[in-house]
């Protein structure tokens, strides 16, 4: 049993809950190669403070290389980027911890129905898929429930979330809000500068080169409800569209 700890408030509550189970093996954090470094520091510090084992995974092909080959993704390119950045890390986690094919890896997430909304399709607290069991103990929690839990257990909050209203551990841009890169640049100019430098390289490579903008002709694909590690970005986009 692993808690998928992105560094956001929801995943912090979920990790704390999971850590109380005798089955808890630790936290997993995926470093996609594009994100706010302060969040990774927060994840490491939090795990250390609680004595939670932490496994960090990085995708075999870095974000930068993916972008220079395919361009920055919009919603329609999300499945590709998700598979390369996150699914491959989860497969590695499975390979490292499954002794036999029939073993199940239990992944605890901070998904909340109130945030994920109807469009995201999360209606079950436990879902089994591809040798994994996704468990969402916060599914019926409200925003206030989450903060009450953080207060009750005196869990320090990630300052990045307080500033950006997202954990920022991953910034692929597929479901970015309008003006999101400017907000990032205000608080975390180095992270934004890296993205803007990559935009220039993508332009030179002749691939879609605007972070957070759907490439021309790719439409407005809806967030995929199955992509459990991207639920908060999908929810953010659905909310922007009024979904």
Q: Would you tell me which residues interact with ligand SF4 (CB under 6 A)? A: 32, 78, 81-82, 85-86, 170-172, 174-175, 230, 233
Q: Count of alpha carbons within 13 Å of 6, Cβ hemisphere only?
A: 27
| Smallest distance from ligand SF4 to CB 170, Å | 3
**Unique residue bearing structure tokens 């911890």:** 97
Q: Which is nearer to ligand SF4, 2 or 31 (CB)?
A: 31
| Smallest distance from ligand SF4 to CB 6, Å | 8
Question: Do 43 and 169 meet the contact criterion of CB atoms below 8 Å apart?
Answer: yes
Instruction: State the burial class of residue 125 (Cβ atoms within 10 Å of its Cβ: 0-12, 13-18, 19+).
Output: middle
| Smallest distance from ligand SF4 to CB 104, Å | 23
Q: Which is nearer to ligand SF4, 24 or 28 (CB)?
A: 28
Query: What is the three-class DSSP state of 45?
Result: helix
Question: Do 3 and 15 meet the contact criterion of CB atoms below 8 Å apart?
Answer: yes
Do the bridges between strand 132-135 and strand 126-129 make them parallel or antiparallel, or are there none, so unpaired? antiparallel
| Smallest distance from ligand SF4 to CB 9, Å | 15
Q: Which is nearer to ligand SF4, 24 or 82 (CB)?
A: 82
Q: Which is nearer to ligand SF4, 138 or 172 (CB)?
A: 172
Question: Do 132 and 90 meet the contact criterion of CB atoms below 8 Å apart?
Answer: yes
Question: Do 199 and 209 meet the contact criterion of CB atoms below 8 Å apart?
Answer: yes
Q: Which is nearer to ligand SF4, 138 or 174 (CB)?
A: 174
Q: Which is nearer to ligand SF4, 67 or 171 (CB)?
A: 171
| Smallest distance from ligand SF4 to CB 127, Å | 18
Distance CA 229, CA 204 (A): 31
| Smallest distance from ligand SF4 to CB 234, Å | 7
43 C-beta neighbours (distance < 10 Å), count: 27
């Amino acid at each position: 049993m692993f808690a998928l700890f992105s560094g956001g408030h929801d995943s912090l509550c979920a990790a704390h809950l999971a850590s109380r189970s005798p089955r808890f093996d630790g936290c997993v954090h995926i470093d996609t190669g594009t994100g706010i470094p302060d969040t990774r520091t927060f994840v490491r510090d939090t795990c250390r403070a609680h004595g939670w084992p932490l496994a960090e995974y990085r995708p075999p092909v870095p974000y930068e290389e993916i972008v220079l080959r395919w361009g920055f993704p919009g919603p329609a390119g999300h499945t590709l980027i998700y598979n390369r950045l996150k699914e491959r890390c989860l497969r590695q986690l499975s390979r490292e911890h499954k002794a036999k094919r029939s073993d199940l890896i239990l992944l605890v997430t901070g998904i909340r129905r109130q945030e994920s909304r109807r469009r995201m399709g999360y209606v079950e607290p436990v879902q089994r898929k591809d040798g994994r069991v996704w468990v969402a103990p916060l599914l019926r929690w409200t925003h206030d429930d989450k903060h009450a839990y953080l207060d009750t257990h005196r869990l320090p909050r990630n300052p990045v979330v307080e500033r950006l209203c997202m954990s920022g551990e991953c910034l692929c841009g597929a479901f970015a809000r309008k003006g999101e890169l400017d907000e990032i640049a205000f608080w975390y100019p180095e992270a934004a500068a890296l993205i803007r430098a990559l935009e220039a390289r993508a332009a030179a490579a002749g691939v879609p080169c605007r972070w957070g903008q759907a490439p021309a002709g790719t439409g407005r694909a809806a967030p995929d409800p199955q992509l459990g590690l991207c639920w908060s970005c999908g929810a953010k986009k659905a909310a922007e569209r009024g979904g």
